[in-house]
Structure 1
Amino acid sequence: MAGFWGKRKREQQAEQDAADADLARRAGAALVAADERVRLTADELDFARAELGEGATGDLRAALEAVRTHLSEAFHLHQLNHDEIPDTPDEVRMRSARIIQLSEWAEELLEERLGALSETIEKVRRAPEILERVRRDARRLRERVEPARDAVVRLSARYSDAALRQISANPGEADQLLAFAEHSADVSTRRREAGQREQAHVALEAATEAVRRAETLLDAVDGWEIEALRAESTLAEVIDDSRGDIVAARTAPQTPAVQAAVGALERALGALPASGAKTDPFDDLSRLREANAALDAAVDKARERAARPLPDIAHVRHAIDDSDRQLSVARSVIAGHRGWIGADARTRLAEAERVRADIDRLPDEEDSREPALAMARRAGALASEALHLAQRDIDSSRPDGMNGPGGWGGGRGGRGGGMGDMMGGVLGGLVIGGLLGDIFDG
């Protein structure tokens, strides 16, 4: 048996030694990888600083300095694991784990910060290529400026100035942006040749953005006519639908809201431009859709209301009066016994008063009857609950008797115990009347 356990112990030790060796190997590999990442990042930083300036590379520079500081700790721990001074296995394991932690953190931080600059750095490296593309795109887009102007003139014969306001200035603005892009590209080239890399990069960004915006403006002109035709087609469908809704609304309950919505939709239909007139299909469609939706909502509400009649106004007022009475009773009891009333009763009363105040804030219209009735019932229920809790607090605070232990004559000194509690409640709650009379008569 002793031989068995000895063999088992040797096997466990061999497994632990293998795990320690693997941990040490991983720590060394992680440290080497992190150190290489530092060197590569330093090269990237030198290039980025020369091209972009100090301001754009500040975050990467700060990250590199922090990593170098923490990696010096990792190198020191690695040295301790391999010097001549013997260490315990636990000490070696802790150091190796710390080396891996620091190394992985260093790589992650540098990768994050370098990644934030990578797109900009790549753009700087490809600056000549990008500048050539900017000039080529500007020439291509210039060929679209005059056709865009002609399109605006042609569309103005069919659509109103208000409708064309979205695109009428686009060709001129695109022309100005393209001129700015070409000028910025020239500035970028000159600054780069003069060694002013940061300024060259700023001019390159400006040229690229100007070309992008010019293309967006010209695309908007090309796409506007298609969208206008779609709006006109949809408008015709909405007109037919609206006329059908007006007819259908005659079968709905004729509430003031339904009648007003029908009138609004009829006016919106009547305001549509006559055939042959210049139009704004987008605005016409928007106004008609809004009036159509309002009629649908009014009809739905009227039918729902017809299926569920409003409560009688007298019933609502009765419920409010009942809640006011219950609130008044609860207030009186709690105010008269403040020294004995706990947090639960006070909370219910405060919530009841809040709900009651909300009733007064409801608009004075028929649709407020249902919420007013529900709120009045809620306020009354809360007030009743507050009264019940207050009565419980009062009953639990009363002395059981005046002559028992801790009562009027009991306890030490004759006035301790229950009498002290009673007087605390009296003084705190200002109880007056019959209760005081009972005490002093007794």
Structure 2
Amino acid sequence: MAGFWGKKKRDEQELQAQDADLAKQAGTALVAADERMRVTADELAFADAELGHDATAGLRQALAAVREHLGEAFRLNQLNHDEIPDTAEELRTRNARIVQLCEWADDVLDEHTSALAEKIARARRAPEIIAGMRADAARLRTRIPHARDTIERLDTRYARDALAQVASNPAQAEQLLGFAEHSAGVAERRREAGQREQANLALEASTESVRRAATLLDAVETFEVEALRAESTLAAIVEDSREDLAVALKEPHTAGVATAITTLQTALSSLPPVGVNTDPFAQLSRLREANTGLDAAIAAARERAARPIPPLEHVHHAIDDADRQFAVARDVIAGHRGWIGADARTRLAEAERVRVDLDRFLGVPAATVTAIGEDHREQAMAMARRVAYLASEALQLAQRDIDSSRPQDSGQWGGDGWGGDGWGGGRRRGGGSDMMGGILGGLVIGSILDGIFD
């Protein structure tokens, strides 16, 4: 009898281990498929320019189908991480479906990109592309001093935690541009040597580096604008919160409502005084979470029909806040794609899906809507707050991934990185190589790096 129960326990442990491996496989497959889709979109742009729109119709249709099915995979992954408990069988079924969808996506893209590979290789105008890349890199280099000045100016106004999203962007952009220029030279030499495939890979790495450098520099300017918007939105949300408190104090004082009121009052009282460096994004997140908690408590305490209709301006504030939070999260993830895991990507994809649903619900783009019927305001506000909450989670998870992946010593391209025993010497060492190991995490060049740096 003891042997029977021992075997049953071993079987359960083995099944749990298999489920854990499947969950890990699903997350890895989701990241790889998402990256593959983004890289294929870039390849499609190249093919359109070189072969014409008609020649790439098959790849375009395949990419649209893959994007739709990966949306399903992201939604399944979101269900695995929502607040509703799941059974082991439910998790197993979803993870298996995620893996299946990602493998299908990879196969479909392989089939269509392979069909165009030879034509693209013949038609690609490498010298023109390299010249354009170098011109773009030179233009972006002129923006780096301005970006550094912007960071210094923002440092006198905002807290260091708020600036952590963009503080290192100028340095990272400068390193990416250095890598892009070096890779362009490699592409030219490999093409002259007749090594077309490696030359094309080096050229793709070069153009991707320039694109990412531009994204990082754009994010600095976007941060300044979004921070000012956040401060403006914060004042409106503070007013909304006080009005919400006034309404909540008239509600039946259940334990849930009383706790939510205290939480929101604490969030309001914790706002720093004028003149203190602030983190408006964190303050908005705290107020938004407290507001959401108060809404949920009130909903549980009274009948829906008795709830007041949200004023139109409150709905507009919620939509503006959602768009701002989503824009910040999207820029951070786009600028550090190689470091971002499945969780942050899933939250961002879910936030984007809910945001699209909000536009469909209202019948027009939510950012431009001027009138919302009383019957629709509450749901519109709930959807907007859901977008903001998911985007905030995506930003927090992305920052966690960036912090865990960022090297301790950022290094520079100079010194051991470029001369001596560095890139020119045939082997990599020192801080420069450590930094580039992280920066190049999002570049799809894989094991050819050792061959590129010759």
TMscore range, shorter length: 0.3 to 0.5
**Higher Rg:** 1
Q: Which has the higher contact order (CA 8 A, sep 6+)?
A: 2
TM-score (norm 2): 0.41
TM-score (norm 1): 0.42
